[in-house]
Structures are given as structure tokens and as C-alpha cells.
Chain A
Amino acid sequence: MRWRSALVILALVSAGPACTGGGGEDMPVCSDLEAQVLVLEAQSVPSATRLPCVAELPPGWRFGGSLIKDTETTLWLDSDRAGVHALQVTMSASCDISSAVQVPPAADEVGMTVYQEPESLEPGFAGRRYLVFEGGCIIHEYAFADGTEPTLVIEADLAISTVARRDIVAQVQDSLDLTLCGAEAPPCVG
């Protein structure tokens, strides 16, 4: 029985951190349209025509984790300067932009309406950026550690981009000959 106990303890100890670290699904990489995590994102908000993904992680930033469920998708990034969970990106069907102001979209935000809502500069930068598009909304929530330069927002925004849902729909159609129903695809059955 000793080896059994040792095996179980080893399994638990080695598996324990798996539950605590980061968490959630794979990292959605914008250039990897075959990634199943993008299909899952598309299923989480079927009306959304754009899906958040990681374009390029600047030095000092890393993918923290994600939580994809039936009403929204959440990704977060950690930074060696701005801290853990410095940027959280949430996609949902709609969002409240009543206290935000419209700003011009960035190069990779063409076709979307962009709003910003700065909350504080001191002691740590905090604020929100809303990307509103047909069928959905993506919120970038910044929560930097105390004393962090607000200019890190530029790095954070470089890390996150979006892909078109129609590209994922086409990818599923090509690879499985099946329909990823929802926006820009035939309606779902049922």
C-alpha cells in the first residue's frame, strides 16, 4: 500500500499547483486562427463579430490566464513592472459606456468605436478602454501597481488585438466542415 500512497501524494502535490497557477484556457494568439481557444471565445459571445487575442507580448509582459464562459471571455496579462493582473480584457455582448468619452481608434481598432474612462493616475494607474463593435464590446481594464509609469498602457495595448469572427467561422468550416453558428454564420439549430 505504501507505493499507492506515495503515488497519490505525488500526483496531488504535482497537480496542486495546476489549479492555482494562472488558470483558464490556452492563450489565444491572433496569428493562430486554428487555435480551439478562439472557437471557444466565439461561442462565449455568439453575437460578437470581433474576438480578443494576444498579438505580441512586449518584454516584461506575460499572459496571466483566461476564463471563458457562456456570457463572456476574460483574459489577463501580468507585468514585471505594472504587476500581476495589470491588464484585464473582457469581451461581452454589451457594456456600459455612460461615463466614458469617445476617442479615436488605434490602427488595429478600425471599424470599432473606442471609449476611454481614466480613473486614477496615483498611486497606480487605473482606467478602462472600451472597444464597441457589432454584436459585442471589449473592455481593457488597467490596474497598475503603485508608482508604475502610466505610459505602460501603450505596451499593454500593443499586446492585445482582435480577430474577426468570420475568420474563425471559415476556419471551422474548412477543417471540420461544420458551422460555428452565431454572428457572420448560419443561425444555430434549436
Chain B
Amino acid sequence: MVGYFVATLIGVLLFEPMARLYERTDTSFLHLLAEGRNDILTEIMQAIALLSSRWVLRVLRWGTIIALIAARRWRHLFVFLGALITEEVVAYLLTLVIHRPRPLGVEILAPWQGFSMPSRPMASLAVTLVGMAYSLIPHGRYRDAAKWAIAGVLVGVGIARLYLGVEAASACVFGGVLGVAIGLTAFRWFTPNDVFPVTYKKGKAAHLDVGGMRGEAIVTAVRDQLGYRVLDIKPVGLAGSGGSTPLRLKVRSEDGGPERQLFAKLYAQNHVRADRWYKIGRTILYGALEDETPFGTVRRFVEYEDYALRLMYDLELPVPTPYGIVEITPEREYMIVMEFFDDAVEIGEAEVDDGVIEQGLRLVREMWDEGLAHRDIKPANLMVRDGQLKLIDVFFVQVRPSPWRQAVDLANMMMVLALRSDAPRVYEHAVGMFSPDEIAEAFAATRGVASPTQLRSMMKEDGRDLLEEFRALAPDRDEVRIQRWSLRRVGLTVTALLAALVALGLIVTNWAVFA
């Protein structure tokens, strides 16, 4: 990548003082090609050169944009758009700086526009093809093959354009190198493969690849820091987790104890960023519902979850046994390790009898009494093993939360339990631990964003209006308003709107790149 940019810089800096040398060398070469022209070869070369025409580029670019939208691969989409606009702008400005005419002394047999160096069609084709490879093709064998194919296409189109006399060799190479450099830089910086892999398997973008060097680093770190030999690493429960990469580790202690399973959550910088954006989004949409202060570093991130887990474990709440934090890469990647609940099933697939209902409600009661809120009560975070309810994922736990937040925990727990039973039954158990007014307040406070996405979608699939059923069972209570206004919210909203306008403006003013 550095080589590409050095080549670009040299091209720009050396062209002016060495213009005569460039021109004479390029012209001699083009004369040789032009002298060898014949009708059939010319037609073939014109057909090959069409690959760099605006129409072909439009089809490739729009095809990629549509594919990325269909795959909802937004980050790759924005990087692709950014790379295209950057390339078009940079290549255009460079032609104005270098102001090199078309080749001298040969008849030009292809359409052209403007100064010739760097070759804008070559740069456009290169950045488009590189962008397609990095946003549509998974890393590995297929992408490697695509890179060779791209090199072949660029060389072929370049030779065709030289044959047709539309550009000199140096302009053609410069354009190709520039396009590749911008495409590679954009995708390697903003969508590093180990963080944002292109994959056609179901999963979330936040999940990290745990093979290769990272896998080796995990094995070494767990051995050195926890004293366990890792026998196997397997991603688990990816569908229910968007904020980390959950893993199941098969381990054995260094002193030769029995094999056991551990649960681990891998965190990296992108999770901190995702959390920050998530909180900004919540603030814009709903105001300061609760503490929306973002974490500064991934270390703080994982330390907080470890603290919350140990706190709940010490209070004898049914959470996994904490094993500690493992540092994979200092300040960049950490893993929190805890007990894995063997043979446990998600509550959404478990039998929910009176015992489980009772445990769920008691869990909320105990958190209320201890001054805690889980803030993410959903089926994916409630496991059942041998009729015992377990609570996992304590990352969102808040100490001394607002009464509103605690009320929401209760309502969410009751709805999760009712999904596998029915509202009257859950309500009947609830009144044994909570007053009817407390239950009424819980359902008055709970709607929309207050419930996790997974719970909302499962309730939608279920078909029953559980929220209204509970509200009908509880005493009448006015809805608790969840919109909160603050200067920060206004500021963030205005900033977001301005950013959207700038982005829109850039796309509109550079529409020629796409249209």
C-alpha cells in the first residue's frame, strides 16, 4: 500500500521536470504499437477498451451498490461509495495539476475527455474492481483469484488503450495504480477483514473471526493468564449477540484435570465504537432514557462487565461463575471468561412451568431489593437447565438504577415468561412478590425501545398482545412518557442531520460518479 502511494507521489513530483523524457519514451512505444495496427486487431482492442467505458462502470458500480444494500452490508457500502468519490476527485484534480495532453504523433482511435495523466478511466475501473472484490467476495481463495483476475483485466484494458493511442503507458499505469491504491487503502483501513469479514453465512458484523492468529493468541493468553489449555474454540449464540463475539471454549487445566467448557465473550475496539454509536442513536431517538455515557476503551468495557458479573455472583444471583479477564492484545482485544451452562437451553425453547415462572419473578425481586437492573431481559439471556433458571449477559447491568429502569425489567421478565405460558398465570405469580401498583407501573413504563429487539420480535411472532393482556390484568395506570429532551439530544440531532446533509450533498454533487 505504501508502495502504491510512493509510486503516486513520484509520478506527480517527477512528471513536470521529466516531462520530455516521459513524452519521448511513451511516444516511441506508442508509435511501435500504432505501426502494428490492423482492422481486426483494432476492433478487438476497441471491444476490450469498452470495459473502461462509463456505461460498463455504471453497471458495475450500481450492481455492487444494489448487492451491498440487499446484503445489508452498510459499512462496506459506505466504504465503496467513499472510495469511488475519493478516486474520482483525486484523479480529476491530479489531471489538472499535471495537465498532460493526449499522446502525440499517433492517431487516437478511442473516445477521450480532458487531460490524460493519470488515466481516469483506468483509475475508475481499478477502484471499482478492487471495491467489488473487497466488498462482495469473501477473504481467501476466491478473493485471491479475483485479485489475479482484476490484474488481468487492468493489464488487458491498459494494453488496449495504449494500442488505441488514447493514453501513454505512464498515464495508464499511473491511473491503474492510483485506483488500486485508493480501493485497497479504503477497504483495509475501514473494513479490516478480521473485524468486518465478507461472509454469506448468517451472523452479525460485530463478530470477530477467531481462527488464524487471533485463535492462536486466545489459546496462549488463556493458558498464560487462567492456567487452562484450550482444546477447542467455537463461536456460539451469534444470532442473539450483537455487541461481542460469544465463544465456547473447551479447556483442560494445566495440571491435567478433566475437560470442561467455559463461556467467553471477546471484545475489540469495534465493539466499543458500536456501543458508542448505539448510545448516540438511543439519545437521538429517545433522549436520555438512562446512563448513555459511552466507554472510552475496550479495557474499561470488559472491566465493567467483569465487575457486574462478580457483583451478581457475590449476591448469589443465578449468574455464571466468573473466571476473569484475558488480555489478548493490550488495549485492543480482551475476553471475559465465565462458566458455561452445559445442557442449558434458551428459555424460548424450554418448558416454562410454575417453578421457572417463580424463579424469574424472584430474580427480578432480588435485583430490585439489591438496587440492580439487568436492562437486557430477553429470551437469549435467560437459560433453563434442569428446571433452574439462569441469567447471562450482565453487560448492561446498572447499579442504583432509576425506578423506571427497574419497572421495565419486571415487565420484560413477565413477557418473556408469558411467551412460553400465558399472561394470567404469570400475573398470578407476580402479585405474590410485587404489588398490583408496581406491576401496573411496569407495564405503563414499558413499550417500544424499552424492550430488547429480540423480545419484541418474538412477541410479534407469537401473535398474542401480551402487553395489553398484562395491562388489562393490572390496575389502570397512565403511560409513562419515555421521551426525554436535553441540550445534548438537540445538539446530537442537529449534528446528525448536518452530517446527513453533507453526505447527501457529496453524493449529489458527485452524481456523475454513479450516473
Contacts and interface: CB of A to CB of B under 8 A. Distances in A.
A172 interface: yes
Interface in A29-53: 36-37, 39-40, 43
Contacts of B509: 16-17, 19-20
A91 to B, nearest CB: 15
B107 A16 contact: no
A69 B111 contact: yes
6 contacts: A39-B101, A175-B20, A176-B19, A189-B34, A189-B105, A190-B106
Contacts of B223: none
B100 interface: yes
Which residue among A4, A12, A19, A180 has the maximum number of chain B CB atoms within 10 Å of its CB? A19
Nearest to A2: B273
Contacts of A175: 20
A4 B93 contact: no
Contacts of B101: 36, 39-40, 43
B104 A176 contact: yes
A1 B20 contact: no
Contacts of A1: 269, 273
B89 A190 contact: no
A36 B190 CA distance: 38
Contacts of A180: 104-105
A18 B114 contact: no
A39 B189 CA distance: 40
A36 B99 contact: yes
A178 interface: yes
B107 A188 contact: yes
A113 interface: no
Contacts of B505: 16
A177 B24 CA distance: 8
A190 B512 CA distance: 33
Given A12-B506, A19-B510, A69-B114, A189 B106 contact: yes
Contact of A19 (B89, B99, B100, B102): B89
Contacts of B19: 176
Interface string B85-120: 110111011001001111011111111111100000
Contacts of A43: 101-102, 108
A180 B23 CA distance: 12
Given A4-B189, A17-B509, A70-B111, 9 more contacts: A12-B82, A13-B502, A16-B505, A19-B89, A24-B114, A69-B112, A69-B113, A70-B112, A188-B105
Contacts of A179: 104-105
Interface of A: 1, 4, 8, 11-13, 15-20, 24-26, 36-37, 39-40, 43, 67-70, 172, 175-181, 188-190
A26 B104 CA distance: 19
Contacts of A188: 34, 105-107
B111 A25 contact: no
B37 interface: yes
Contacts of B510: 16, 19
B102 A40 contact: yes
Range of interface residues on B (Cβ < 8 Å) = 35 or more
A115 B92 CA distance: 36
Contacts of B108: 43, 70
Contacts, number: 106
Nearest to B19: A176
Which residue among B31, B107, B111 has the maximum number of chain A CB atoms within 10 Å of its CB? B107
Contact of B24 (A68, A178, A190): A178
A4 B319 CA distance: 40
Contacts of B20: 175-177
For chain A, what secondary structure do more than half of its interface residues adopt (helix, strand, loop), or is it mixed?
helix
Nearest to A16: B506
B96 A25 contact: yes
A19 B92 contact: yes
Contacts of B86: 8, 11-12, 15
5 tightest Cβ-Cβ pairs between the two chains A and B: A190-B34, A188-B107, A15-B89, A69-B113, A39-B101
A11 B88 CA distance: 12
B165 interface: yes
B386 interface: no
Given A19-B88, A19-B89, A68-B114, A37 B104 contact: no
Nearest to B31: A189
Given A12-B506, A19-B92, A190 B102 contact: no
B104 A178 contact: yes
A178 B27 contact: yes
A15 B37 contact: no
A128 B159 CA distance: 42
B74 to A, nearest CB: 15
Contact of A181 (B105, B190, B506): B105
B328 to A, nearest CB: 18
Interface in B7-32: 19-20, 23-24, 27, 31
B151 to A, nearest CB: 26
Contacts of B106: 181, 188-190
A53 to B, nearest CB: 15
Nearest to B189: A4
A15 B104 contact: no
B298 to A, nearest CB: 12
B26 to A, nearest CB: 10
A6 to B, nearest CB: 12
A16 B108 CA distance: 32
A8 B88 CA distance: 14
A184 to B, nearest CB: 14
A26 B23 CA distance: 20
A181 B107 contact: yes
B410 to A, nearest CB: 39
Interface string B486-515: 000000000000000010011001101000
A18 B109 contact: no
Contacts of A24: 114
B35 interface: yes
A1 B502 CA distance: 21
B181 to A, nearest CB: 14
Nearest to B164: A190
